[in-house]
């Protein structure tokens, strides 16, 4: 797939989209991208569904009965493409395909930290996953064949009991569109929707993560427990009186616990640092490929200065002023041009040759960038 310049919003500006539609109402965009925008052929997607490192699912419906199976799947063991009513969903295709990563990065008018992944679903005629509702924003880009979408802003979100999928019991569509290759549908969280293939089709879903308060709190407290330094006083009750009611919780232990909990007051800096590491932590299934014959530091610097640098498609990066985060690790960045260059790397996921050369002139950069390269987190580009 060729690198495409325009935003996938047709004639609508990003500002108009954010003001009118983002987390508010659906948007149908005809010809958002060229009709040949598919990041991979069907055969490659089905082969990817057989990879042990890829999360995939097979959904079938026959005689009104839904079935769900989890991959990996041997492509030869999948139903024949001539059979109606089955769907393969492959998560995180952007982690395994440069073209899919380029397609994902076209949505960089939204923060990288919000983008979850690019999923691709392949369906035969009549295939789908049933009417359902998501808790996150999603762009549904048709890249092969046709799919009919029905959506509703209904209040009744009760599910059919006893199914392996979360399917709405009383879906009442209010709008309907047939998407052709290159068409795209944006849906905010909470909108019920159902997509059914009309003939063989393939759809890219660019989903956006929206962690809940409980998810963030659990992760933060677990992280804080691992990072608390200094003294760790242990409860003691020397000199206490005889326990008249040994089944009761001791008042002294109660007071000690209250003081420990109330005394835990993380600073804004500690919370922000956690968030940077949390948002850039790769998923457990992500593995990087370090170079088999890595360049030495000097050769790496020459290559980067000649061709530039690009983050690996699997890398997650964020810059927050004096701190940068890459794949869950924090680096303190001094003020000056190097801070601006690292921020540009986080924004654009690449530095051209001129900016890479400028970054490498800072004392911090040669060792840092070479370390990231040796980890497989970024790569020098050919001239």
Residue 249: the pLDDT is 92
Is pTM beyond 0.85? Reply is yes
What is the H or E stretch that residue 204 is in? strand 192-208
Residues 6+ apart with CB under 8 A from 160: 167, 168, 169
- How many whole angstroms separate alpha carbon 297 and alpha carbon 62? 59
Q: In this predicted structure, what is the pLDDT of residue 7?
A: 63
Q: pLDDT tens for residues 28-68?
A: 999 999 999 999 999 999 999 999 999 999 999 988 799 99
Q: Given this model, what pLDDT does residue 144 score?
A: 97
Tokens representing 40?
A: 């991979």
- d(C-alpha 170, C-alpha 131), whole Å: 9
> Residue 264 has what pLDDT?
87
**What share of the chain has pLDDT > 70, as a percent?**
98
Angstrom distance (rounded) from CA 311 to CA 51:
23
Evaluated on CA atoms 250, 252, 253, 259, the torsion sign reads: positive
Cite the residue boundaries of each domain of the chain with CATH code 3.40.366.30. Answer: 297-380
Comparing 5 with 148, the larger pLDDT belongs to 148
Contact 57, 159 (CB under 8 A): no
DSSP category for residue 285:
T
C-alpha separations of 162 from 67, 169, 171 in Å: 11, 11, 17
pLDDT digit string, tens, across residues 210-264: 999 999 999 999 998 887 766 788 989 888 888 888 899 999 999 999 998 898 8
Class in CATH terms, 14-208: mainly beta
Query: For the domain with range 297-380, which CATH number is right: 3.40.366.30, 3.40.50.720, 3.30.450.20, 2.40.30.10?
Result: 3.40.366.30
For the record, the structure tokens of 58 come out as 């097979």
Q: How much is the pLDDT for 298? A: 96
Map tokens 């949390």 to a residue: 278
Instruction: Determine the Cα–Cα distance for residues 283 and 134; give it in Å rounded to an integer.
Output: 20
Find the mean pLDDT for residues 161-170. Answer: 94
| pLDDT tens by residue, 317-370 | 999 989 999 999 999 999 999 999 999 999 999 999 999 999 999 999 999 999
Residue 258 CA neighbour count, 13 Å, CB half: 6
* Residue range(s) occupied by CATH 2.60.120.650 in the chain: 14-208
At 63 the pLDDT is: 80
Mean pLDDT (whole number) for 6-20: 85
> Mind listing the pLDDT tens digit for each residue in 196-207?
999 999 999 999
Question: What is the distance between the alpha carbons of residues 285 and 311, in angstroms, rounded to a whole number?
Answer: 18
Look at residue 5 in the predicted model and tell me its pLDDT: 43
Q: Check: CB of residue 87 under 8 Å from CB of residue 55.
A: no
3-state secondary structure of 50: coil
DSSP states along 333-367: --SSHHHHHHHHHHHHSEE-HHHHHHHHTSTTHHH
Tokens 């030495």 — which residue?
296
- β-pair partners for 123: 87, 201
- Are 304 and 355 in contact by the 8 Å Cβ rule? The answer is no
Q: In this model, does residue 6 exceed pLDDT 60? A: no
Q: What is the mean pLDDT of residues 164-189?
A: 97
Rounded to 5°, angle at Cα 284 from 279 and 288: 90
Q: Of 152-156, 223-227, 277-281, 352-356, which gets the smallest average pLDDT?
A: 223-227
pLDDT at 230: 66
Helical axes 213-227 vs 268-280, angle rounded to 10°: 110
């Amino acid at each position: 797939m060729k690198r495409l310049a325009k935003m996938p919003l047709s004639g609508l500006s990003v500002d108009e989209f954010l003001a009118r539609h983002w987390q508010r109402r659906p948007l149908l965009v005809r010809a958002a991208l060229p009709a040949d925008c598919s990041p991979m052929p069907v055969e490659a997607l089905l082969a990817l569904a057989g990879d042990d490192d890829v999360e995939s699912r097979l959904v079938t419906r026959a005689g009104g009965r839904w079935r769900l199976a989890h991959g990996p799947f041997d492509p030869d063991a999948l139903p024949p493409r001539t059979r109606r009513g089955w769907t393969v969903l492959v998560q995180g295709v952007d982690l395994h395909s440069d073209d899919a990563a380029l397609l994902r990065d076209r949505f960089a008018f939204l923060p990288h930290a919000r983008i979850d992944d690019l999923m691709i679903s392949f369906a035969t005629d009549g295939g789908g996953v049933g009417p359902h509702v998501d808790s996150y924003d999603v762009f549904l880009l048709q890249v092969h064949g046709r799919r009919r979408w029905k959506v509703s802003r209904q209040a009744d979100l009760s599910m059919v009991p006893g199914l392996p999928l979360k399917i709405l019991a009383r879906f009442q569509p209010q709008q309907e569109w047939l998407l052709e290759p290159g068409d795209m549908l944006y849906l905010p969280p909470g909108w019920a929707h159902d997509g059914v293939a009309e003939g063989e089709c393939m759809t890219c879903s660019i989903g956006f993560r929206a962690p809940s308060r409980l998810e963030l709190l659990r992760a933060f407290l677990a992280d804080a427990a691992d990072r608390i330094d200094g003294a760790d006083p242990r409860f003691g009750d020397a000199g206490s009186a005889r326990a008249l009611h040994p089944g009761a919780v001791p008042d002294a232990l109660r007071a000690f616990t209250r003081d420990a909990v109330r005394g835990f007051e993380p600073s804004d800096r500690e919370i922000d640092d956690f968030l940077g590491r949390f948002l850039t932590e790769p998923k457990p299934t992500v593995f990087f490929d370090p170079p088999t014959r890595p360049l030495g530091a000097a050769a790496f610097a020459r290559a980067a200065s000649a061709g530039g640098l690009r983050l690996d498609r699997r890398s997650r990066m964020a810059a927050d002023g004096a701190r940068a985060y890459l794949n869950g690790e924090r680096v303190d960045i001094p003020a000056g041009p190097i801070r601006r260059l690292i921020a540009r790397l986080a924004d654009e996921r690449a530095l051209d040759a001129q900016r890479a050369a400028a970054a490498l002139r800072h004392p911090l950069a040669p060792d840092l960038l070479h370390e990231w390269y040796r980890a497989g987190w970024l790569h020098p580009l050919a001239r």
